[in-house]
Structure formats: structure tokens, C-alpha cells
Structure 1
Amino acid sequence: MTDIDQAKEAVRDRVWRRLIDGDGAPDDSYGKIPGFYGAEATAERLAELEEWRRATTVKANPDWAQRPVRIRALEDGKLLYMAVPRMASLEPFFLLDPETLGASAEEAADKRGATQFARRVGVDDMRPIDLVVCGSVAVNRSGARIGKGAGYSDLEVALLIEAGLVTDQTVIVAPVHPLQVVEGDIPETEHDFSVDYIVTPDEVIRCTNPRRPRGLVWADLTPEKIAAIPVLAQRQNAE
């Protein structure tokens, strides 16, 4: 584990503990993207943003914390791409089209519902993304963020950047509990992206330091990680 990895883990540990101790999330949230209390109110606040109203395509993580945002996206008629858990498919995204759903928004936006009602797509079959909703453990007001350490959010965004589907015009949002907003620096590496907005149940924070990687950073990927994610293994074999 590098010094940066250790520093990130220290931030995660601190935030998980204060979130649980401060009754911001259930006791079993340690080690996860926390399903924080107030996620529904956060989704409502996000929906008030002009950037949300303009967006026609939204990409979101499959975490429980983002379920209210996924539901709202479908209710608002937006095309929703939801990452397949652990990117365990050559087609690593679910496509949820509100015009053709065979279920309610609540059912379809759930991980189990997406498996049943959505079809899987690869980046070649996706439309440009207007807004990305990323699950996070911690964020700071400049826009730096970290997840639980598995790196899937970074890989999803990097794939979409390489495909030209996420650009500098794409808005990236982190819906979180106020206790997940930290003061001070969050360590960043070449593959990390920052967010444009932090949204909590209480406020919207416009971040000042937008940052996007150029794409996949192969040097940061272990052979085990590449082998475990079919789309990465396929790309590596094609090179």
C-alpha cells in the first residue's frame, strides 16, 4: 500500500466512524459507500439544480445511497445508465429508459430490478452523458472525493472519458451526508476525478477545482484487477 493509499484509508476510516457515531448512517456502513440518512431529501435538492433539469442522460452507481437519485432520474424522464456491480460484464452498464420500462421507477432503479428490467450495454452503444452521480465516502469543498477503495467509480468514468461520452461539459455530482464533507485535503492520484457539485440534504456546494483524468491509467491497475473486469481484459488483449 502506497503512502497515498494509506492517507486515503485514514480519511475513510475517520469519515465512516464519525458518520456512524453521529447517526448519519446505519451501523453497518463501515467499509461501504454509506446509505446515509437523508438520501431522499438529497435527491430532491439535486433535482432543483438547473444542470439536473437540462440533463437528458444520467450515469449513476448501483449503491443504495444513490437509489433515490436513480428513481428521480427515471421519474423525470431521463435516460439512466447504471453501472453493473463490480463491472462484471463485457457490457458494464445497465440501460434504463423511462419510456420502455416494464416496471415502476422504484423497482427498476434497484440493483435487483435493473438486472430484471434493464439491458446491458457497452460504451459503444451509449449516448453522451450529461450528468454523473458518484457514490462517495468522503468529499471536500474543492471537489476531491474518495470512494470505498475498490476503484470502480474511477474506472467507469475513465472508460466513458476514453469513449468521448464524459467530457469537460459533463457535470459530476456527489450526493452525501453533511458528515461526509471534510475539511482539508483529500489525497489524489492520476486516475482520480473530482466533482463539480456536492449535494447534501441541507445545501449544494459548488466545487472550485474540477479535475478529470485523461482516461484509463493502466499503470495503476494490477493484473488481478484487469483480469477481474472483463472489459479491461478485453481492451488489454486488443492492444
Structure 2
Amino acid sequence: MPEAAKLKARLREEIWRELDARKIATPRPCRGRIPIFAGARVASMKVVKKSFFLDAETVYSTLDAPLQPLREEALQRGKRLVMMVPGFRGFVIVDGSSVPKGALRAAASPRGSLVYGSRVRVLEGVEVDLFLAGSLAVDKRGGRLGRGDGQQDLEYAVLRELGAVDDSTPVLTLVHDVQVVAQVPMEIHDVPADYIATPSELLKAEGGYRKPRGIVWDMIDSAAVEKYPLLKLLAGLG
């Protein structure tokens, strides 16, 4: 295992233990997850009055639980919310202006979005104005750590391949304050955050990490290409 991968694995275990010990994440034990944390809605409220959120017409969100409050806020403000269909089987687009007020919570969830939104195979002519990424840990330069399956990074890479995001598209993550660490080991495929919202503050990342320009195909095995329809399509096999 490469050294960066070892350091990441060690950091994940430390964060999961800390979240469980402090009883600030659910469900517990939270190992293997990017769990919802106490204060996630408070963290999201630090975002909703900022111009990068207010001006965003189309918001993309990974499926992670801590982002649920911000997905709801996006829909409540009539924004267009885009999420990946699990298994990279296309996308679902939810138009906030058409969601009944009493259904915002359901429509912002991965399962409910399939009821209130429209499924598409690929994003055509869609420009994402804000990318919401779940994280297990983050550093103040914007380095992000996921749960170890590369899901969030691959979602971003797919959007790059489709032309829906570029270097200027802000990436925001929500974490608890204890998930902000000194340094996250970053590799070529890892997506850094531009903004970090915690229950206590909103940080603009210090920067220094380069966003990946697309899928790093050398890191994708043939089994994943066969398994995930969007990867198969982008590889020219679908």
C-alpha cells in the first residue's frame, strides 16, 4: 500500500474513534461512514447567506448525510439540485421551485429525490455552480478525506468529464470541528475543498491543492468500468 494510502487509512480510524468517543455522530459506531454530526444544520446556516450559495442556480451534492440540511436549503430557495443515482447509474435533477413545501426534506434525500426529481443518463448543457462534497476529515488548506471508497472524488471527476464543473466551480464541505485536522494526505485524484463549514465557523480554504481535471483512468480497474454505467459510457464502451 502506498504511503499516502496508509496515512489516510490511519487518519480515518482516528476520526471515527473520535466521533464515537465524543458521541457527536450518528449512527454509532460510525466506522465506514461519513456520518451525520451534531450541528450539521448549524454549519449549513453559515453557508446560506454567502454569495457563492445565494448566486448558485444549480447545486450538485454527493449523497452524504451531513449535506442533507444544505440540500434542503437549496431546494427551499428554488435552486436546481443535482445528485448521482447510486451506482453511477445516471443523475437525478430536482427543481426546487416545483417541490411542495412539505416535501423539501424528502426531495432532498437520495431516495426521495428519485420521486420528486427527473432522472437523466448524462448531464447535457448543465453547468454546476456549487459542488457539495461529503468529507470525513479536512485540513485548512482544503485537503479532504472521504470514507475510503473514492465515491465523492469520482463523482466530481465524472462531472469534469461531462463539462459540468471546472476549476472555478467552488467545492464546499460540511464537517464537525473535530474533523478539521492538521493535514490530509492528498493524491492526484483527490478533490480539495474551497470552503469548509463547521458548527463554529465558515473557513475559506488556504489553497495549494489542484483540482483533478477528470477521471484518472489509470486508477480505475476494468471491473469498476463494467459495474458502473456512467464509467462505461465515458470509457466509450456504453
Q: TM-score, normalised by structure 1?
A: 0.92
Specify the alignment match of 2:186 in structure 1. 188
Point out where structure 1 has 5 or more consecutive residues left out of the alignment: none
- Alpha-carbon deviation of 1:165? 1.4
- CA contact 1:135–1:147 (8 Å) conserved in 2: yes
Specify the alignment match of 2:3 in structure 1. 3
For residues 8-64 of structure 1, what are the alpha-carbon distances to aligned partners after superposition, in whole Å with 9 as ceiling and x for unaligned?
A: 111111111111112221223211011111111111111122211111110001122
- CA contact 2:123–2:164 (8 Å) conserved in 1: no
SS in 1 for 2:92: strand
**Number of residue pairs matched by the alignment:** 235
Distance 1:6-1:126 versus aligned 2 partners, 3 A rule:
farther
For residues 141-200 of structure 1, what are the alpha-carbon distances to aligned partners after superposition, in whole Å with 9 as ceiling and x for unaligned?
A: 0000011111111111111112221112211001111111101x2111111110101000
Distance 1:17 1:174 in 2: 21
Q: Which amino acid aligns with 1:66?
A: L
2:94 to 89, 96, 104: 96
Q: Which amino acid aligns with 1:142?
A: R
Q: Does 1:141 align with 2:135?
A: no
Q: Does 1:39 align with 2:37?
A: no
Specify the alignment match of 2:224 in structure 1. 225
- Alpha-carbon deviation of 1:99? 2.3
Distance 1:31 1:206 in 2: 27
- Alpha-carbon deviation of 1:126? 5.0
Q: Which amino acid aligns with 1:33?
A: I
1:208 to 203, 206, 209: 206
- CA contact 1:195–1:211 (8 Å) conserved in 2: no
- Alpha-carbon deviation of 1:113? 0.8
Q: Which amino acid aligns with 1:140?
A: D
Distance 1:208-1:32 versus aligned 2 partners, 3 A rule:
same
- CA contact 2:75–2:99 (8 Å) conserved in 1: no
Runs of 4+ in 1 over 3 A off after TM superposition: none
Distance 2:147 2:117 in 1: 26
Distance 2:46 2:32 in 1: 26
SS in 1 for 2:212: coil
- CA contact 2:62–2:155 (8 Å) conserved in 1: no
Point out where structure 2 has 5 or more consecutive residues left out of the alignment: none
Q: Which amino acid aligns with 2:67?
A: Q
SS in 2 for 1:154: helix
- CA contact 1:86–1:152 (8 Å) conserved in 2: no
Q: Does 1:153 align with 2:152?
A: yes
Q: Which amino acid aligns with 2:43?
A: T
Q: Does 1:82 align with 2:83?
A: yes
RMSD, aligned α-carbons:
1.7
